[in-house]
Structure 1
């Protein structure tokens, strides 16, 4: 059987509202025969019943990133497409029909932005990073005193004829819920988070079935979201502007061929309604008595509503939705706990991202609240672990009558496991649902072993990625939700295994390009927000750090390695070069980056335990780490330049790389192989990035090994060296020690958190201390999940020899200490699976068409084509 499946347009299964005039097409193949490859393909694209592009059969084995070259695409239309593939055995595979919807391709923006025109409440937020870090600033008990209310807009329209097609383009500075006749048509948290002042996305909705002949009500609720909400670590509002606004353009085509344009203008009216406030971090306060029931339906009395203020412009930064929208993926009925203090707490069973829905009894004017947190304290009582201003994570309801109330938040979400209930008598578990949300990214990797602790670690890695890859790749879902560049670059290889992140990270990289400074610097957080200056230091010229800014090189390269997308390298190449030029301007004549501030090997456990001051880790390691990262990124740039045919630039980076390597070994490593600063992470980086002269190498390895043993066989690596730790030991002949660290259960280690009941990856190795004390750390940070890369490669046996897994190395280490492991990965070519069992000596391998592999098993190496193989 020869099969074609998983059709994607612009790297998504069903993109809605893309405004790319030449979208790309991809598919995957499957076959039950060995040595199968595609010899030709055919694509056909249809608009309604008419074919607008037919490639005919093209001789090629290409199955992804094929650009559209048919008739000019039309705005707001639903296109259908099919693919056929013929293999080398003469078998033909035909796909099912896939589809995509175009956005406003012609960029005709003919309506107006609408807002209230009223001033918002004065900003009184604390801007002292020192006070916030010290825990001296706490969230307000009455956020309604400083937060603004979401705004309701409405208008009625008339449709006098039969509608053939109607499409709505909508966006906001803020986040919105769009309704027609009481039915919500918008995505969760639209228009999502981008660098708003430089890149704002609009959404496309097919509303044909809703606009029947007659009168219709259009209603919108507009909340602060990221635009004016209390976002980032500092929790300071108005980061992108001082006024929210909304835009809607509905293009109607009637069956008689005529067209009509409807949307936002001066005829809309506005009012406040049932929400006293709704903030992404603080939560919502819903007052039932103020609800405007039926506001988005016809016949609603809006005589007391005010006229909107309308304006034009700002359309040059609009782009169609370029990633899959957020979605609800799971609904959990929680367990109800009664704590020693007598608190009533919901337990979701795992640390998740989402919100709480309630449908149950209420009493008139008795406030109900849901406060969300990640942990219970060591005595089993509710503990709010997130410090800072505006981090309440608390939703409130004020019912206007006794009876049954139904409520779920509309404009906020939380990172939590536990929910403290107040205001509900005799709560029942079935009255609650925990709604889990994610970014719509499809799971591509599976990794299961004979060791349940390792399996739990893998689930923790996945769950942290699921909760943090919402809109942008965030550090944590409860405290900052910030796109820290360093987190993403260390985690990227693991990310590409677990999920299809290509489209998602391409959008984030676009924001990175837009946020790059004139001198080439990459801000440490993308999207960059103004309040970060209070962390970096006002007036500070340097807003980048080695290992963080380097993400502009490393992340596109990891995407190329995983997905074989040259376009990612091309799109970001100028950004990479500008960054490298900036760094080159900062390094010494010897090629060492020994100036400026850097985070260094951030959060080294032993230093944190001794001082509690993360800046100590930066000061002790910043110079060596910055120089090591410079060598590392120049080496990556050499490869990128060779892929793109940039030979002169490759030669330039080779010369820089060689100079830095030589100088690093001379300055930072003594003749007996000892680092200037005797820290695990610095040895790991020096060895892993090949910065050690050969005659010093073995001594350097011995020092590293001794440091590990002296630390009770526990890691003591910081943020940037953790990804290289196990691989470096493994490659240097210390395989047993690498596995000792992986399976270690004492702190600090990956499995220590598992023994403490972790269901996600922690920010801090001892977020829960050995004595049971719960710290105010984040319990959902994906960065240390970078260990997944080592597990999938050495235990799972999966390694890409050529970009995109066109050629695959299968080399599971059966001496890893486990009895068996099963690994599967859906590459751009199709599914790869590896299943080994030590006791039986069995290895089963499956490779998709168009790929090949090399198997390392039982001391032998063999080359294979694609297909299924069983070895014993």
Structure 2
């Protein structure tokens, strides 16, 4: 029963953390008895001698293999700690110790001795990357070396001939006005006795590069800069510190332009690392800049290479070389280029081809001042073969077009480098319908493409961290990958960017909106359904990971959001109070002012058709529903945290807002709601806004609307993720399956029929034969949660999967489905198949310490850990299936 898969702050053996109270977690073997308690020890030496132990938890009674928080002596900077855990089971059994480690970074601002340095000329209008370098003399007895590094822009760190950063895009996008992340590297093996060369290349990155739909540059500042502190431990116990300062050299090199959206322009005639070849362009002394930034350690694995793909070669009708990698993705291409010296070649990336077979980028817009440069790189050829990999940009693409006088390439000369945050996959889904399997795969690929340095809407056009997108997709993301630390980081950024009045920008980080959000119309300032991520995402993380820490960390932010929404409803009166009857004193709970995105992009709707209604207060029903829902969730959060007064207050607010919403928007006892659209009923039912007597009529009307639409969905961003679950929960599982398996637009399988390899922003994807909108948006991919929790049938019945509910939906012509998922307690699985007679066999695996409710036809039972099998006859299924 020895624990395994030990983590600290949700990462295995993290390197350079700056948390003063790290969190510990572990997993038990599948055959282990239930955990009843645990002990943890932390030591600054792996021998765990008594004098070295900095904390011992003692025997803690707990069944949860997570949530243990350090409470010992203050941790020291730059120190490697060992920690171990053993668990207590039934009958007094105690496991062996399981041991792991973590290393602290620079815990205090005074630990930093380095200065920010830049090129004296590297200001706003100079697009060139900055090259910074120095040489250092070292003794032979360096036993440990760590480089604590960051930049204002994306950087690459080199020591001698070693590429320390590799393919990583660092630092991540943060609210740079609030704080900047630094990275820690083990550089021991890169250094040698004698002379060493250290170099840093800094490019635009998210700090100075073009951001958002409007491709706004210089949102955080206009000067690229780097910061590095190289700490060397010698064999005699002494240390050497090498820092960025005015003694460094600043120059320019082969990278003449490097924008994260627009792309790179490079001169391949210049060596990649000029300081190793005695070459420099305009070398001068580096300039120290007076930056006093709050530095925090990165808390999530870096955006880096997670895979490679080879492609097939062809020519476009116009004769350009074309590579099809067979999969839409986020990343860059590595290409071996040759051709006439001084000639320019363009590398153009796209998700799709035009109807004529040419590369297509115009469908994305781009918003750049250089629209012919969007999603492309330019290389000046060296006259001899040179391998080129863009290092300071990222693209969304399946196709690569090589335009220019480059020599013909072979399949060995080009490959796609897939870039993403390397979050561990935790689940697998399979069914008898290959189209559903492809749909699930597409959702995973869209997640990978958009979970880069912040969760983005798409990897092409906007690349913004839209709050509405991650609000609806969060419950799916946490079932596909271990996203706990990643999404906690997003929430930390959200809290940092929350306005003083409690409103939340529609994208995080929000700096892409500066200059637009101050528009009198204020359409990028905040929106219901989007800002509610401040409440809904922490609740999602708690439900799937079980740890209350995120609720506490985000509690003030969650309260501020709900409080301001309630205040807006109480103090302001909109211009469109066209309710079917007066609501009297309840009007103070109706949110009817300000801009709201509303349901957003129902099938057939466009940006142009939606925006006027958003400005004119026509999204009141949506906004008020979210006030009621978030207030109810916040009441539950307060209850979990023991904030009883808050719990009662927000429960009352939720009740009042629900009552007001019903008075304003519900007629005919629930058979008519709002504008009588599918999403009106989905919200009403999913958010539990109706009286019990109204639910049946609302559910019946929802099913009617779906049937009237030919078993098609008619919902937008906010309600599509809830549609199928709502149909199932209200007794219409057959309708839900027909919508799921629909193949004509709007439907999920329509894109599959057209060969999609990721999920699309719109249901059509094409207009008049030409590509339209993004082909790599994860929002509508939230349906993958339905595949796992309903079709395969495995869902949490208590926070953190402490209890399971296994209740698969059988039907729709499917003959089998299965899912397995790594929970905080271990691997859980559900798999069912039908026989020719119609009988259904269900097999399950329940992890240690967990119980599960099994529902299959007329079978309804409870089981404990281990493997189980159930069979239900066709007759039993007919009378018992949801």
If the TM-score is normalised by the length of the shorter chain, which range does it land in? over 0.9
Secondary structure of the 1:383 match is coil
- 1:6–1:13 Cα contact (<8 Å) kept: yes
Does the alignment pair 1:269 with 2:249?
Answer: yes
Normalising by structure 1, report the TM-score.
Answer: 0.92
- Quote the residue 2:875 is aligned against: none
Does the alignment pair 1:305 with 2:302?
Answer: no
Shifted more, 626-635 versus 787-796: the winner is 787-796
Does the alignment pair 1:772 with 2:775?
Answer: no
Q: Report 1:448-467 matches (<5 A).
A: 448-467=430-449
- Quote the residue 1:260 is aligned against: 240
- Quote the residue 2:123 is aligned against: 120
The counterpart of 1:546, out of the listed 508, 512, 528, is: 528
CA distance in 2, matches of 1:574, 1:121: 37
CA distance in 1, matches of 2:524, 2:779: 24
Secondary structure of the 2:355 match is coil
Shifted more, 149-158 versus 696-705: the winner is 696-705
CA distance in 2, matches of 1:473, 1:304: 38
Residues 346/180 of structure 1: CA separation in 2 closer, same or farther (3 Å cut)? same
- Quote the residue 2:396 is aligned against: 415
The alignment covers a number of residue pairs equal to 839
- Quote the residue 1:438 is aligned against: 420
Secondary structure of the 2:625 match is helix
- Quote the residue 1:283 is aligned against: 263
- 1:3–1:31 Cα contact (<8 Å) kept: no
Secondary structure of the 2:242 match is strand
Residues 425/443 of structure 1: CA separation in 2 closer, same or farther (3 Å cut)? same
Q: Report 1:661-810 matches (<5 A).
A: 661-671=658-668, 673-769=671-767, 772-775=769-772, 777-810=773-806
Residues 531/550 of structure 1: CA separation in 2 closer, same or farther (3 Å cut)? closer
- Quote the residue 1:25 is aligned against: 24
Residues 313/280 of structure 1: CA separation in 2 closer, same or farther (3 Å cut)? closer
- Quote the residue 2:879 is aligned against: none
Residues 621/605 of structure 1: CA separation in 2 closer, same or farther (3 Å cut)? farther
- 2:594–2:615 Cα contact (<8 Å) kept: no
Secondary structure of the 2:343 match is coil
The counterpart of 2:302, out of the listed 290, 301, 325, is: 325
The alpha carbon displacement at 1:38 in A equals: 4.5
Residues 542/474 of structure 1: CA separation in 2 closer, same or farther (3 Å cut)? closer
- Quote the residue 1:177 is aligned against: 156
C-alpha offsets along residues 66-119 of structure 1, whole Å, 9 cap, x if unaligned?
223445433223333333334326665547643322111233111211012326
The alpha carbon displacement at 1:353 in A equals: 0.6
Secondary structure of the 1:505 match is helix
- 2:516–2:522 Cα contact (<8 Å) kept: no
Secondary structure of the 1:362 match is coil
C-alpha offsets along residues 326-381 of structure 1, whole Å, 9 cap, x if unaligned?
22121111111223333321111010011100125333222222100010123433
The alpha carbon displacement at 1:255 in A equals: 1.6
C-alpha offsets along residues 730-749 of structure 1, whole Å, 9 cap, x if unaligned?
12211111111111111101
Does the alignment pair 1:651 with 2:653?
Answer: no
The alpha carbon displacement at 1:622 in A equals: 0.7
Residues 513/556 of structure 1: CA separation in 2 closer, same or farther (3 Å cut)? same
Secondary structure of the 2:438 match is helix
Residues 301/367 of structure 1: CA separation in 2 closer, same or farther (3 Å cut)? closer
Does the alignment pair 1:354 with 2:331?
Answer: yes
CA distance in 1, matches of 2:634, 2:281: 63
Secondary structure of the 1:637 match is helix
Residues 47/105 of structure 1: CA separation in 2 closer, same or farther (3 Å cut)? farther
The alpha carbon displacement at 1:43 in A equals: 4.0
Shifted more, 637-646 versus 302-311: the winner is 302-311
Does the alignment pair 1:337 with 2:340?
Answer: no
CA distance in 2, matches of 1:221, 1:603: 42
CA distance in 1, matches of 2:842, 2:701: 37
Residues 91/768 of structure 1: CA separation in 2 closer, same or farther (3 Å cut)? farther
- Quote the residue 1:134 is aligned against: none
The alpha carbon displacement at 1:867 in A equals: 1.5
The alpha carbon displacement at 1:458 in A equals: 0.3
- Quote the residue 2:880 is aligned against: none
Does the alignment pair 1:634 with 2:615?
Answer: no
Does the alignment pair 1:235 with 2:215?
Answer: yes
The alpha carbon displacement at 1:49 in A equals: 5.1
Residues 367/607 of structure 1: CA separation in 2 closer, same or farther (3 Å cut)? closer
- 2:253–2:274 Cα contact (<8 Å) kept: no
Residues 444/95 of structure 1: CA separation in 2 closer, same or farther (3 Å cut)? farther
- 2:42–2:81 Cα contact (<8 Å) kept: no
Residues 345/621 of structure 1: CA separation in 2 closer, same or farther (3 Å cut)? farther
- 1:270–1:305 Cα contact (<8 Å) kept: yes
The alpha carbon displacement at 1:549 in A equals: 0.7
Normalising by structure 2, report the TM-score.
Answer: 0.91
Does the alignment pair 1:829 with 2:829?
Answer: no
CA distance in 2, matches of 1:373, 1:337: 15
The alpha carbon displacement at 1:303 in A equals: 10
The alpha carbon displacement at 1:577 in A equals: 0.9
Secondary structure of the 1:118 match is coil
- 1:833–1:845 Cα contact (<8 Å) kept: yes
The alpha carbon displacement at 1:224 in A equals: 0.8
- Quote the residue 2:70 is aligned against: 68
Shifted more, 760-769 versus 214-223: the winner is 760-769
CA distance in 2, matches of 1:737, 1:304: 69
- Quote the residue 2:56 is aligned against: 55
- Quote the residue 1:139 is aligned against: none
CA distance in 2, matches of 1:283, 1:570: 41
- Quote the residue 1:557 is aligned against: 539
Residues 42/74 of structure 1: CA separation in 2 closer, same or farther (3 Å cut)? closer
The alpha carbon displacement at 1:684 in A equals: 1.5
CA distance in 2, matches of 1:219, 1:752: 50
The alpha carbon displacement at 1:388 in A equals: 2.5
RMSD of aligned residue pairs (Cα, Å): 2.3
- Quote the residue 2:82 is aligned against: 80
CA distance in 1, matches of 2:546, 2:57: 25
- 1:807–1:852 Cα contact (<8 Å) kept: yes
CA distance in 2, matches of 1:618, 1:738: 33
- Quote the residue 1:126 is aligned against: none
The counterpart of 1:387, out of the listed 361, 365, 370, is: 365
The alpha carbon displacement at 1:561 in A equals: 0.4
CA distance in 1, matches of 2:181, 2:538: 22
CA distance in 2, matches of 1:42, 1:121: 52
Does the alignment pair 1:861 with 2:860?
Answer: yes
The alpha carbon displacement at 1:434 in A equals: 0.6
Shifted more, 503-512 versus 786-795: the winner is 786-795
C-alpha offsets along residues 383-418 of structure 1, whole Å, 9 cap, x if unaligned?
1132123361111211222x3211101111110101
The alpha carbon displacement at 1:294 in A equals: 4.6
The alpha carbon displacement at 1:238 in A equals: 0.3
- Quote the residue 1:197 is aligned against: 177
- Quote the residue 2:843 is aligned against: 844
CA distance in 2, matches of 1:743, 1:528: 38
CA distance in 2, matches of 1:608, 1:258: 65
CA distance in 1, matches of 2:684, 2:705: 15
- 1:795–1:816 Cα contact (<8 Å) kept: no
Q: Report 1:558-573 matches (<5 A).
A: 558-573=540-555
The alpha carbon displacement at 1:45 in A equals: 3.9
CA distance in 1, matches of 2:536, 2:664: 26
CA distance in 2, matches of 1:616, 1:309: 52
Residues 304/637 of structure 1: CA separation in 2 closer, same or farther (3 Å cut)? closer
- 1:601–1:621 Cα contact (<8 Å) kept: no
The alpha carbon displacement at 1:12 in A equals: 0.8
Residues 304/659 of structure 1: CA separation in 2 closer, same or farther (3 Å cut)? closer
- Quote the residue 1:125 is aligned against: none
